[in-house]
Amino acid sequence: MKRTSTRLADGREILYYDADDGAARAVPDTRPLDASATSSEVRRDPLLGDAVVIASHRQGRTYHPPADACPLCPSAEGRASEVPAADYDVVVFENRFPSLAGDTGRCEVICFTPDHRTSFAELDEERAALVLAAWTDRTAELSAHAGVRQVYCFENRGTEIGVTLAHPHGQIYAFPFITPRTTRMLATVAAHRARTGGNLFEEVLAAERAEGTRVVLEGEHWTAFVPYAARWPYEVHLYPHRRTADLTTLDDAARAEFPRLYLELLRRFDRLFGSSAPTPYISAWHQAPVPGGGGGDAGGDLDQGGEAARADFALHLELFTVRRTADKLKYLAGTESGMEAYMNDVRPEDAAARLREVASR
Protein backbone atom coordinates (compact mmCIF):
# COMPACT_ATOMS: atom_id res chain seq x y z
CA MET A 1 0.00 0.00 0.00
CA LYS A 2 1.20 3.51 -0.85
CA ARG A 3 0.05 6.47 1.24
CA THR A 4 0.27 10.02 -0.14
CA SER A 5 -0.50 12.96 2.16
CA THR A 6 -1.15 16.47 0.85
CA ARG A 7 -3.36 19.49 1.61
CA LEU A 8 -6.59 20.91 0.24
CA ALA A 9 -6.97 24.61 -0.58
CA ASP A 10 -8.28 25.49 2.89
CA GLY A 11 -5.51 23.62 4.71
CA ARG A 12 -7.31 20.35 5.45
CA GLU A 13 -5.31 17.15 5.07
CA ILE A 14 -6.10 14.63 2.33
CA LEU A 15 -4.55 11.17 2.08
CA TYR A 16 -4.58 8.80 -0.89
CA TYR A 17 -4.24 5.06 -0.30
CA ASP A 18 -3.19 3.11 -3.39
CA ALA A 19 -2.56 -0.53 -4.13
CA ASP A 20 -0.06 0.55 -6.80
CA ASP A 21 3.16 1.90 -5.28
CA GLY A 22 3.73 3.93 -8.44
CA ALA A 23 0.52 5.98 -8.19
CA ALA A 24 1.10 9.77 -8.28
CA ARG A 25 -1.53 11.67 -6.30
CA ALA A 26 0.02 15.00 -5.26
CA VAL A 27 -2.48 17.03 -7.31
CA PRO A 28 -3.03 20.62 -6.10
CA ASP A 29 -6.47 21.83 -5.04
CA THR A 30 -7.10 25.02 -7.02
CA ARG A 31 -10.49 25.92 -5.52
CA PRO A 32 -10.75 29.39 -3.92
CA LEU A 33 -11.66 28.09 -0.45
CA ASP A 34 -11.54 30.12 2.75
CA ALA A 35 -9.94 28.52 5.76
CA SER A 36 -12.43 26.19 7.40
CA ALA A 37 -14.03 27.43 10.63
CA THR A 38 -15.85 25.37 13.25
CA SER A 39 -17.72 26.09 16.46
CA SER A 40 -17.72 22.65 18.08
CA GLU A 41 -17.79 22.25 21.83
CA VAL A 42 -18.22 19.29 24.15
CA ARG A 43 -20.75 19.63 26.95
CA ARG A 44 -21.54 17.23 29.79
CA ASP A 45 -25.05 16.08 30.62
CA PRO A 46 -25.19 16.67 34.38
CA LEU A 47 -27.68 13.84 35.02
CA LEU A 48 -26.32 11.08 32.79
CA GLY A 49 -22.67 12.11 32.72
CA ASP A 50 -22.60 11.69 28.93
CA ALA A 51 -20.53 13.97 26.72
CA VAL A 52 -22.58 15.72 24.00
CA VAL A 53 -21.06 17.53 21.00
CA ILE A 54 -22.63 20.87 20.01
CA ALA A 55 -21.77 21.67 16.37
CA SER A 56 -24.15 24.35 15.12
CA HIS A 57 -21.98 25.22 12.10
CA ARG A 58 -23.00 21.92 10.45
CA GLN A 59 -26.43 23.30 9.53
CA GLY A 60 -24.90 24.59 6.29
CA ARG A 61 -23.24 21.37 5.12
CA THR A 62 -23.77 19.92 1.64
CA TYR A 63 -27.19 18.26 1.36
CA HIS A 64 -28.18 15.75 -1.35
CA PRO A 65 -26.31 17.27 -4.31
CA PRO A 66 -27.01 15.88 -7.80
CA ALA A 67 -24.67 13.11 -8.95
CA ASP A 68 -22.82 15.43 -11.33
CA ALA A 69 -21.98 17.74 -8.41
CA CYS A 70 -20.96 15.09 -5.89
CA PRO A 71 -18.05 16.40 -3.78
CA LEU A 72 -16.69 12.88 -3.21
CA CYS A 73 -16.18 11.95 -6.86
CA PRO A 74 -12.75 12.63 -8.38
CA SER A 75 -12.29 16.08 -9.91
CA ALA A 76 -12.89 16.39 -13.64
CA GLU A 77 -12.53 19.07 -16.29
CA GLY A 78 -14.72 22.00 -15.24
CA ARG A 79 -15.75 20.39 -11.94
CA ALA A 80 -13.48 20.54 -8.90
CA SER A 81 -14.43 18.35 -5.95
CA GLU A 82 -13.06 17.55 -2.50
CA VAL A 83 -10.69 15.11 -4.24
CA PRO A 84 -8.33 17.03 -6.59
CA ALA A 85 -7.05 13.89 -8.36
CA ALA A 86 -8.80 12.62 -11.47
CA ASP A 87 -8.90 9.11 -10.00
CA TYR A 88 -8.17 7.28 -6.74
CA ASP A 89 -8.34 3.90 -5.04
CA VAL A 90 -9.22 4.90 -1.47
CA VAL A 91 -9.02 8.45 -0.19
CA VAL A 92 -9.37 10.04 3.26
CA PHE A 93 -9.70 13.75 4.03
CA GLU A 94 -10.70 16.00 6.87
CA ASN A 95 -14.41 16.75 6.81
CA ARG A 96 -15.24 20.25 5.57
CA PHE A 97 -18.12 20.43 8.08
CA PRO A 98 -16.75 18.47 11.06
CA SER A 99 -18.59 17.75 14.27
CA LEU A 100 -15.19 17.56 15.97
CA ALA A 101 -12.15 19.70 15.18
CA GLY A 102 -9.09 21.18 16.86
CA ASP A 103 -9.22 20.68 20.63
CA THR A 104 -12.47 18.72 20.33
CA GLY A 105 -11.07 15.98 18.08
CA ARG A 106 -11.18 15.31 14.35
CA CYS A 107 -13.64 14.06 11.73
CA GLU A 108 -12.54 12.46 8.47
CA VAL A 109 -14.33 11.19 5.37
CA ILE A 110 -13.17 7.95 3.74
CA CYS A 111 -14.21 7.24 0.14
CA PHE A 112 -14.10 3.54 -0.72
CA THR A 113 -14.10 3.92 -4.50
CA PRO A 114 -14.24 6.65 -7.16
CA ASP A 115 -17.33 4.99 -8.68
CA HIS A 116 -20.39 6.98 -7.59
CA ARG A 117 -22.84 4.27 -8.70
CA THR A 118 -21.54 1.33 -6.70
CA SER A 119 -21.45 0.31 -3.02
CA PHE A 120 -19.06 -1.30 -0.56
CA ALA A 121 -20.76 -4.66 -1.16
CA GLU A 122 -19.76 -4.48 -4.83
CA LEU A 123 -16.05 -3.92 -4.16
CA ASP A 124 -13.62 -6.74 -4.80
CA GLU A 125 -11.60 -8.28 -1.98
CA GLU A 126 -8.44 -6.36 -2.90
CA ARG A 127 -10.20 -3.01 -2.59
CA ALA A 128 -11.90 -4.06 0.68
CA ALA A 129 -8.48 -5.03 2.04
CA LEU A 130 -7.18 -1.58 1.09
CA VAL A 131 -10.06 0.04 2.99
CA LEU A 132 -9.16 -2.09 6.02
CA ALA A 133 -5.55 -0.92 5.69
CA ALA A 134 -6.71 2.71 5.56
CA TRP A 135 -8.94 2.24 8.64
CA THR A 136 -5.95 0.72 10.45
CA ASP A 137 -3.59 3.52 9.42
CA ARG A 138 -6.03 6.21 10.50
CA THR A 139 -6.64 4.45 13.83
CA ALA A 140 -2.90 4.38 14.51
CA GLU A 141 -2.29 8.00 13.52
CA LEU A 142 -5.34 9.52 15.19
CA SER A 143 -4.71 7.56 18.39
CA ALA A 144 -1.38 9.38 18.65
CA HIS A 145 -3.04 12.83 18.59
CA ALA A 146 -2.99 14.66 21.91
CA GLY A 147 -6.36 14.49 23.64
CA VAL A 148 -7.89 11.71 21.52
CA ARG A 149 -9.59 9.07 23.65
CA GLN A 150 -11.29 6.84 21.07
CA VAL A 151 -11.20 6.30 17.28
CA TYR A 152 -14.44 5.27 15.59
CA CYS A 153 -14.60 4.06 11.96
CA PHE A 154 -18.11 3.67 10.54
CA GLU A 155 -20.30 3.74 7.44
CA ASN A 156 -23.82 5.12 7.18
CA ARG A 157 -25.53 3.80 4.05
CA GLY A 158 -28.91 4.95 2.71
CA THR A 159 -31.16 7.98 2.99
CA GLU A 160 -33.18 6.14 5.64
CA ILE A 161 -30.11 6.42 7.89
CA GLY A 162 -29.80 10.14 7.18
CA VAL A 163 -27.03 10.00 4.57
CA THR A 164 -26.78 13.27 2.62
CA LEU A 165 -24.12 12.19 0.07
CA ALA A 166 -24.86 9.14 -2.08
CA HIS A 167 -21.24 8.33 -2.97
CA PRO A 168 -19.92 5.14 -1.25
CA HIS A 169 -18.10 6.51 1.77
CA GLY A 170 -17.69 6.26 5.52
CA GLN A 171 -16.40 8.41 8.32
CA ILE A 172 -13.70 8.28 10.97
CA TYR A 173 -14.15 10.18 14.24
CA ALA A 174 -11.38 10.86 16.76
CA PHE A 175 -13.27 11.59 19.98
CA PRO A 176 -11.81 13.62 22.87
CA PHE A 177 -13.88 11.47 25.21
CA ILE A 178 -14.82 7.83 25.60
CA THR A 179 -18.23 7.38 24.01
CA PRO A 180 -21.21 6.51 26.24
CA ARG A 181 -21.71 3.10 24.62
CA THR A 182 -18.08 2.10 25.14
CA THR A 183 -18.11 3.42 28.71
CA ARG A 184 -21.06 1.13 29.49
CA MET A 185 -19.36 -1.85 27.82
CA LEU A 186 -16.18 -1.29 29.81
CA ALA A 187 -18.06 -1.04 33.09
CA THR A 188 -19.93 -4.29 32.42
CA VAL A 189 -16.77 -6.10 31.33
CA ALA A 190 -14.82 -4.83 34.36
CA ALA A 191 -17.58 -5.96 36.73
CA HIS A 192 -17.61 -9.40 35.08
CA ARG A 193 -13.84 -9.67 35.42
CA ALA A 194 -14.04 -8.74 39.11
CA ARG A 195 -16.84 -11.22 39.72
CA THR A 196 -15.64 -14.23 37.71
CA GLY A 197 -12.06 -13.59 36.61
CA GLY A 198 -13.10 -14.15 32.99
CA ASN A 199 -13.44 -11.97 29.91
CA LEU A 200 -17.06 -11.28 28.98
CA PHE A 201 -16.36 -10.63 25.28
CA GLU A 202 -14.63 -14.02 24.95
CA GLU A 203 -17.42 -15.79 26.78
CA VAL A 204 -20.14 -14.21 24.60
CA LEU A 205 -18.31 -15.23 21.41
CA ALA A 206 -17.66 -18.77 22.69
CA ALA A 207 -21.29 -19.20 23.72
CA GLU A 208 -22.63 -18.02 20.35
CA ARG A 209 -20.27 -20.32 18.45
CA ALA A 210 -21.18 -23.28 20.65
CA GLU A 211 -24.96 -22.69 20.59
CA GLY A 212 -24.94 -21.96 16.87
CA THR A 213 -28.52 -20.91 16.10
CA ARG A 214 -27.61 -17.24 15.77
CA VAL A 215 -24.35 -17.76 13.83
CA VAL A 216 -24.58 -16.35 10.31
CA LEU A 217 -21.06 -16.91 8.98
CA GLU A 218 -18.00 -18.58 10.44
CA GLY A 219 -14.50 -18.53 9.04
CA GLU A 220 -11.19 -19.73 10.39
CA HIS A 221 -10.51 -16.39 12.08
CA TRP A 222 -13.90 -14.60 12.36
CA THR A 223 -17.46 -15.38 13.40
CA ALA A 224 -20.55 -13.31 12.51
CA PHE A 225 -23.63 -13.77 14.68
CA VAL A 226 -26.91 -12.10 15.56
CA PRO A 227 -26.66 -11.16 19.26
CA TYR A 228 -28.98 -12.85 21.74
CA ALA A 229 -30.61 -9.53 22.70
CA ALA A 230 -30.40 -7.77 19.31
CA ARG A 231 -31.80 -4.23 19.35
CA TRP A 232 -32.33 -3.96 15.59
CA PRO A 233 -34.45 -6.11 13.21
CA TYR A 234 -31.33 -7.42 11.45
CA GLU A 235 -28.15 -6.93 13.45
CA VAL A 236 -24.90 -8.86 13.09
CA HIS A 237 -21.76 -8.69 15.21
CA LEU A 238 -18.48 -9.76 13.60
CA TYR A 239 -15.70 -10.83 16.00
CA PRO A 240 -12.14 -12.02 15.34
CA HIS A 241 -11.49 -15.29 17.16
CA ARG A 242 -8.31 -13.90 18.71
CA ARG A 243 -9.34 -11.05 20.96
CA THR A 244 -7.52 -7.78 20.32
CA ALA A 245 -8.01 -4.16 21.33
CA ASP A 246 -8.24 -2.39 17.98
CA LEU A 247 -7.50 -2.58 14.27
CA THR A 248 -3.80 -1.85 14.74
CA THR A 249 -3.27 -5.11 16.65
CA LEU A 250 -5.35 -7.37 14.39
CA ASP A 251 -3.20 -10.29 13.29
CA ASP A 252 -2.29 -10.98 9.66
CA ALA A 253 -4.47 -14.09 9.34
CA ALA A 254 -7.62 -12.28 10.51
CA ARG A 255 -6.72 -9.28 8.34
CA ALA A 256 -6.45 -11.52 5.28
CA GLU A 257 -9.78 -13.29 5.88
CA PHE A 258 -11.82 -10.19 6.75
CA PRO A 259 -12.58 -8.89 3.20
CA ARG A 260 -14.24 -12.11 2.06
CA LEU A 261 -16.46 -12.47 5.13
CA TYR A 262 -17.39 -8.82 5.38
CA LEU A 263 -18.31 -8.53 1.71
CA GLU A 264 -20.44 -11.64 2.04
CA LEU A 265 -22.29 -10.11 5.00
CA LEU A 266 -22.98 -6.88 3.12
CA ARG A 267 -24.23 -8.79 0.09
CA ARG A 268 -26.56 -10.85 2.26
CA PHE A 269 -27.95 -7.65 3.76
CA ASP A 270 -28.73 -6.45 0.24
CA ARG A 271 -30.63 -9.68 -0.46
CA LEU A 272 -32.76 -9.58 2.68
CA PHE A 273 -35.76 -7.84 1.12
CA GLY A 274 -35.78 -9.21 -2.41
CA SER A 275 -35.85 -6.71 -5.25
CA SER A 276 -36.52 -3.65 -3.09
CA ALA A 277 -34.03 -0.79 -2.82
CA PRO A 278 -30.55 -1.53 -1.41
CA THR A 279 -30.69 -2.17 2.32
CA PRO A 280 -29.85 0.86 4.48
CA TYR A 281 -27.38 0.06 7.23
CA ILE A 282 -24.87 1.30 9.77
CA SER A 283 -21.56 -0.52 9.99
CA ALA A 284 -19.59 0.37 13.11
CA TRP A 285 -16.15 -0.65 14.37
CA HIS A 286 -15.93 -0.83 18.16
CA GLN A 287 -12.35 -0.24 19.31
CA ALA A 288 -10.77 0.10 22.73
CA PRO A 289 -10.12 3.57 24.14
CA VAL A 290 -6.72 5.13 23.55
CA PRO A 291 -4.44 4.65 26.57
CA GLY A 292 -3.14 7.79 28.21
CA GLY A 293 -5.29 10.16 26.14
CA GLY A 294 -5.99 13.69 27.28
CA GLY A 295 -9.61 14.76 27.06
CA GLY A 296 -9.89 16.48 30.43
CA ASP A 297 -13.42 16.74 31.77
CA ALA A 298 -14.88 15.45 28.49
CA GLY A 299 -13.31 12.08 29.21
CA GLY A 300 -15.92 11.32 31.84
CA ASP A 301 -15.69 10.27 35.46
CA LEU A 302 -15.13 6.65 34.43
CA ASP A 303 -11.54 6.79 33.14
CA GLN A 304 -11.19 3.49 31.29
CA GLY A 305 -8.55 4.70 28.85
CA GLY A 306 -5.60 2.80 30.30
CA GLU A 307 -3.92 -0.45 29.44
CA ALA A 308 -6.19 -2.44 31.77
CA ALA A 309 -9.25 -1.48 29.70
CA ARG A 310 -7.44 -2.24 26.43
CA ALA A 311 -6.41 -5.61 27.77
CA ASP A 312 -10.04 -6.58 28.39
CA PHE A 313 -11.68 -4.99 25.33
CA ALA A 314 -12.51 -6.89 22.14
CA LEU A 315 -12.40 -5.26 18.73
CA HIS A 316 -15.57 -6.08 16.82
CA LEU A 317 -17.81 -4.74 14.07
CA GLU A 318 -21.56 -4.22 14.47
CA LEU A 319 -23.68 -4.14 11.30
CA PHE A 320 -27.40 -3.39 11.45
CA THR A 321 -30.29 -2.09 9.39
CA VAL A 322 -33.27 0.08 10.30
CA ARG A 323 -35.45 -1.82 7.81
CA ARG A 324 -37.64 -4.55 9.33
CA THR A 325 -39.57 -5.55 6.17
CA ALA A 326 -39.35 -4.54 2.52
CA ASP A 327 -41.65 -1.56 3.11
CA LYS A 328 -41.35 -0.87 6.85
CA LEU A 329 -38.64 0.86 8.89
CA LYS A 330 -37.73 0.46 12.53
CA TYR A 331 -38.09 3.89 14.13
CA LEU A 332 -36.59 4.75 17.49
CA ALA A 333 -39.79 6.16 18.96
CA GLY A 334 -41.04 6.64 22.52
CA THR A 335 -39.50 3.67 24.35
CA GLU A 336 -36.18 3.66 22.49
CA SER A 337 -35.53 7.39 22.11
CA GLY A 338 -37.20 8.43 25.33
CA MET A 339 -36.07 5.65 27.68
CA GLU A 340 -33.42 3.64 25.76
CA ALA A 341 -35.64 0.57 26.21
CA TYR A 342 -35.42 -1.25 22.86
CA MET A 343 -38.28 -3.29 21.41
CA ASN A 344 -37.31 -5.57 18.51
CA ASP A 345 -39.96 -6.80 16.06
CA VAL A 346 -37.78 -9.62 14.68
CA ARG A 347 -36.69 -12.59 16.80
CA PRO A 348 -32.85 -12.81 16.66
CA GLU A 349 -32.94 -16.53 15.79
CA ASP A 350 -35.27 -15.79 12.85
CA ALA A 351 -33.01 -12.95 11.68
CA ALA A 352 -30.00 -15.27 11.73
CA ALA A 353 -31.88 -17.95 9.81
CA ARG A 354 -32.91 -15.41 7.18
CA LEU A 355 -29.33 -14.17 6.80
CA ARG A 356 -28.09 -17.74 6.36
CA GLU A 357 -30.82 -18.35 3.79
CA VAL A 358 -29.87 -15.42 1.54
CA ALA A 359 -26.29 -16.45 0.83
CA SER A 360 -24.98 -14.38 -2.06
CA ARG A 361 -23.34 -17.27 -3.87
Cβ atoms of residues 329 and 307 within 8 Å: no
Output the CA angle 172-133-103, nearest 5 degrees: 30
Output the CA angle 94-99-100, nearest 5 degrees: 70
Q: How far is CA 90 from the centre of its chain?
A: 15
DSSP E strands in the chain: the ranges are 2-7, 13-18, 41-44, 51-54, 90-94, 106-111, 150-157, 169-175, 215-218, 222-225, 234-240, 281-286, 316-321, 323-325, 328-329
Q: How far is CA 244 from the centre of its chain?
A: 17
Q: What span, in angstroms and rounded, lies between the C-alpha atoms of 245 and 151?
A: 12
Q: What span, in angstroms and rounded, lies between the C-alpha atoms of 111 and 170?
A: 6
Q: What span, in angstroms and rounded, lies between the C-alpha atoms of 85 and 93?
A: 13
Residue 4 neighbours by CB under 8 Å, 6+ apart: 15, 16, 18, 23, 24, 25, 26
Residue 181 neighbours by CB under 8 Å, 6+ apart: 286
> In this structure, what is the dihedral angle of CA atoms 343, 348, 350, 351, given to the nearest 10 degrees?
90
- Candidates 268, 271, 168; CA nearest to 224 is 268
Q: Which of 116, 145, 167, 169 is catalytic?
A: 169
Does residue 224 sit in helix, strand or coil?
Answer: strand
Q: How far is CA 59 from CA 53, 97, 174, 175, in A?
A: 14, 9, 21, 20
Active site residue 169: yes
Q: What are phi and psi of 294, to 5 degrees?
A: -80, -115
> In this structure, what is the dihedral angle of CA atoms 84, 90, 93, 97, given to the nearest 10 degrees?
100
Catalytic residues: 169
